[in-house]
Amino acid sequence: MPYSQSLRTYCPVMFRKFLSLVKFSHTIFALPFAAVGFVLGIYDGPPMAFGWLALKVVLCMVFARNTAMAFNRLVDAEIDKRNPRTAIREIPSGLLNPNQVKWFVGVNAILFIVTSATINTMCFALSPVALAVIMGYSYTKRVTPLCHLILGLGLALAPIGAFIAVTGQMNPAVIFLGISVLFWVGGFDVIYALQDEHFDKDHQLYSIPSWLGRTTALNTSRILHIVSFLALIGFANLVIRDFNVISWLLILAVTAFATLLILQHRLVKPDDLSRVNVAFFTTNGIASITFGVLTICSIVLGS
């Protein structure tokens, strides 16, 4: 096979492998919240051209998530190899080797910092902090069952970071939105971790399910989601107070999000985990998109 033809075949295959490695489709969880933070920033910040800035924010999200997910797969490679559920992942199955993943992590981390530097000083200054959070999560399952909240913190940075990218400052409303994301992600990650309850116990790994058992873990997840909902109410109140929005549309966004959280908990029972993936990906994906679209519409149409 000629070299050029071989290269054309090799590159798309590798691209698909890395997309699978970082579970690129899961970007759907944080992206709508980042979009809300960005749009809020547009209406709160100084007039400017937002097209290139929007592209930079999306690239920062992609680079940061690529770094976090690939680093997690690298750190957990030996654990994943021993777990029947995760043994098919790219590194333990041999689809990618650790050196390839190390390069991928390094390149994406550098691109994240460089792109942040082109946005504003505050984004650049906070970029190492963001990397420390999202990469540090990979080690937390070895030391604390609160690892789910560290994961939530990583995704909570998305709307806050998008707002800072536009305005160069914080805002109470977007902080409440970040808090809501933190507890929302923490809650659904507890549900996802139910699948590894026994494996985690056997291998001295920490999680809410392995620590408290299925029933209490599900109750803990419900509590985390209640906190998420209360923070979302705080967000909505501040946005209605400080921005020109269509109030009923924003209230509908919060209500739809809460309804889908309730549905998520009806899908998973302590004695029936068959619908964990539906609860984890489908329900949360719909919740995120629905909330994002309705909230953005309430801001744009009301301004």
Domain assignment present for residue 16? The answer is no
Half-sphere exposure at residue 50, Cβ-oriented, CA atoms within 13 angstroms: 16
Tell me the per-residue pLDDT of 43-98, one tens digit each, with 9 for 90 and over: 876 666 678 899 999 999 999 999 999 999 999 999 999 999 989 888 888 888 89
How confident is the model at residue 5, as a pLDDT? 44
**Domain for residue 190, yes or no?**
yes
The mean per-residue pLDDT over the stretch 180-207 comes to 94
CATH number at residue 228: 1.10.357.140
Compute the mean pLDDT over every residue in the chain, rounded to the nearest whole number: 89
Is residue 21 a part of any domain in this protein? no
pLDDT the model gives residue 260: 95
Confidence at 7, pLDDT banded by 50, 70, 90: very low
Cα–Cα distance between 178 and 158 in angstroms, integer? 8
- Domain-embedded: residue 43: yes
CB 270 within 8 A of CB 215: yes
CB within 8 A of 199, min separation 6: which ones? 82, 83, 85, 205
For residues 106-118, average pLDDT: 96
Q: What is the percent of the chain where pLDDT is above 70?
A: 91
Residue of 7 and 127 predicted with greater confidence: 127
Supply the range of the domain harboring residue 95.
31-302
Q: Answer whether residue 5 is part of any domain.
A: no
Question: What whole-number percentage of the chain has pLDDT above 90?
Answer: 73
- Give residue 221's pLDDT band: very low, low, confident or very high (50, 70, 90): very high
Number of domains in the chain: 1
Give dist(CA 281, CA 131) in Å, integer.
24
In a domain, 8, yes or no: no
Q: Is the per-residue pLDDT at 124 higher than 90?
A: yes
Nearest-5° Cα angle at 21, 8 to 7? 10
Query: Does residue 293 have a pLDDT over 60?
Result: yes
| C-alpha to C-alpha distance for 238 and 116, rounded to whole angstroms | 28
Kindly report the pTM of this predicted structure.
0.91
Asked, for residue 282, whether it belongs to a domain, the answer is yes
| Domain assignment present for 3 | no
Burial class (CB in 10 A: 0-12, 13-18, 19+), 88: exposed
pLDDT at 120 over 70: yes
